[in-house]
């Protein structure tokens, strides 16, 4: 009985994803056939079309620039901050970043839009990296806080007596110890930055358009080429799914931690 329940659960959860991948490998005429053929000779034609006839390759590269840039900038800002916040047992700076996690993203779009046009950054990669860092900073901060909180204070006190500066202590003594937490934080930040839709939708320009926004435009253009559409979906889904497999066990704890402590 329980085995059956679990089997049904797995099918319900996984069938749409399997459907997407299968459709991306079928000739367009086959996709809408019912009943669908489960065994077919796969073709890469949809992927060839996707990357050949559109700017999708460039869009995908843009996605990587924005995601990697915002993850790196997020680490640079949030890792030292998490360390300081944890050491001094401060509450308000962490709560402040939670504010960014709770506010509707649309709230920021108009101010950002006006701010970026003031400084001439409208539609640039830099503008997208900065806005996506608003997503990565709270994730990294809140994932790391419990790890820093768990460190024994003696760990760094002897280094301080030897006269090491704060940055050197952080890099050479503290970070190696919290490495597992740092990996989870980095991967979560990457996934959420990669997945985020709204900021790039409203603020990207022609040269900085991400794969996510490009795929949305495929839908809007009334593309009935389901094969290419599903190929694009599969390509976008790949990075988060692969990274999820790496850290699946720690991932949920990482996601819930902000709420548990807040």
Interface with another protein (CB under 8 A), residue from 130, 182, 184, 185: 130
Q: How far is the CB of 133 from another protein (least distance, A)?
A: 7
Quote the CA–CA distance of 160 and 22 in Å, as a whole number: 58
Q: Which is nearer to another protein, 19 or 207 (CB)?
A: 19
Quote the CA–CA distance of 70 and 52 in Å, as a whole number: 28
Q: How far is the CB of 41 from another protein (least distance, A)?
A: 20
| Cα Rg, the chain, nearest whole Å | 22
The answer to the question of residue 40 lying near another protein (CB under 8 A) is no
The answer to the question of residue 226 lying near another protein (CB under 8 A) is yes
The answer to the question of residue 244 lying near another protein (CB under 8 A) is yes
Q: Which is nearer to another protein, 58 or 223 (CB)?
A: 223
Tell me the sheet residues that pair with 204: 123
204 phi and psi angles, rounded to 5 deg: -80, 150
35 secondary structure, DSSP code: S
Interface with another protein (CB under 8 A), residue from 52, 167, 172, 180: 167
Question: Which of 13, 185, 38, 212 is closest to 128 using CA atoms?
Answer: 212
Window 9-38: residues binding another protein (CB under 8 A) = 9-10, 12-14, 16-17, 19-20, 23, 31-32, 34-36
Interhelix angle 226-261/211-220, rounded to 10 degrees, is 130
Window 95-124: residues binding another protein (CB under 8 A) = 96-97, 99-112, 114-115
Residues 138-157, one symbol each (x = binds another protein by CB under 8 A, - = not), give ---x----------------
Q: How far is the CB of 222 from another protein (least distance, A)?
A: 11
Q: Which is nearer to another protein, 43 or 84 (CB)?
A: 84
171 secondary structure, DSSP code: I
Q: Which is nearer to another protein, 61 or 114 (CB)?
A: 114
Q: Which residues contact 81 (CB under 8 A, 6 or more apart)?
A: 93, 137, 141
Q: Which stretch binds another protein (CB under 8 A): 39-47, 48-56, 175-183, 252-260?
A: 252-260
Q: Is the separation of the CB atoms in 151 and 173 below 8 Å?
A: no
Q: Which stretch binds another protein (CB under 8 A): 38-46, 64-72, 118-126, 189-197?
A: 189-197
Interface with another protein (CB under 8 A), residue from 44, 76, 155, 179: 76
Q: Is the separation of the CB atoms in 173 and 79 below 8 Å?
A: no
Quote the CA–CA distance of 202 and 161 in Å, as a whole number: 51
């Amino acid at each position: 009985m329980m085995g059956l329940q679990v089997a049904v659960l797995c099918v319900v959860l996984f069938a749409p994803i399997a459907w997407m991948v299968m459709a991306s490998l079928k000739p367009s005429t086959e996709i809408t056939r019912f009943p669908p053929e489960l065994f077919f000779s796969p073709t890469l034609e949809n992927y060839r079309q996707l990357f050949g006839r559109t700017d999708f390759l460039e869009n995908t590269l843009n996605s990587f620039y924005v995601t990697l840039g915002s993850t790196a900038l997020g680490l640079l800002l949030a890792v030292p901050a998490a360390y300081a916040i944890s050491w001094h047992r401060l509450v308000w700076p962490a709560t402040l970043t939670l504010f960014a996690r709770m506010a509707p993203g649309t709230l920021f779009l108009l101010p950002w839009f006006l701010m970026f046009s003031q400084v001439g950054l409208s539609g640039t990669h830099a503008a997208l990296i900065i806005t996506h860092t608003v997503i990565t900073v709270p994730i990294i901060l809140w994932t790391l806080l419990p790890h820093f909180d768990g460190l024994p204070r003696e760990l760094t006190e002897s280094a301080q007596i030897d006269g090491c500066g704060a940055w050197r202590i952080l890099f050479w003594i503290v970070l190696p110890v919290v490495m597992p937490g740092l990996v989870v934080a980095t991967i979560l930040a990457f996934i959420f930055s990669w997945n985020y839709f709204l900021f790039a939708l409203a603020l990207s320009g022609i040269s900085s358009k991400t794969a996510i926004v490009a795929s949305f435009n495929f839908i809007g253009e009334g593309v009935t080429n389901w094969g290419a559409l599903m190929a694009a979906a599969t390509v976008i889904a790949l990075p988060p799914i692969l990274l999820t497999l790496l850290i699946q066990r720690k991932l949920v704890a990482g996601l819930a931690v902000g709420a548990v402590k807040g």
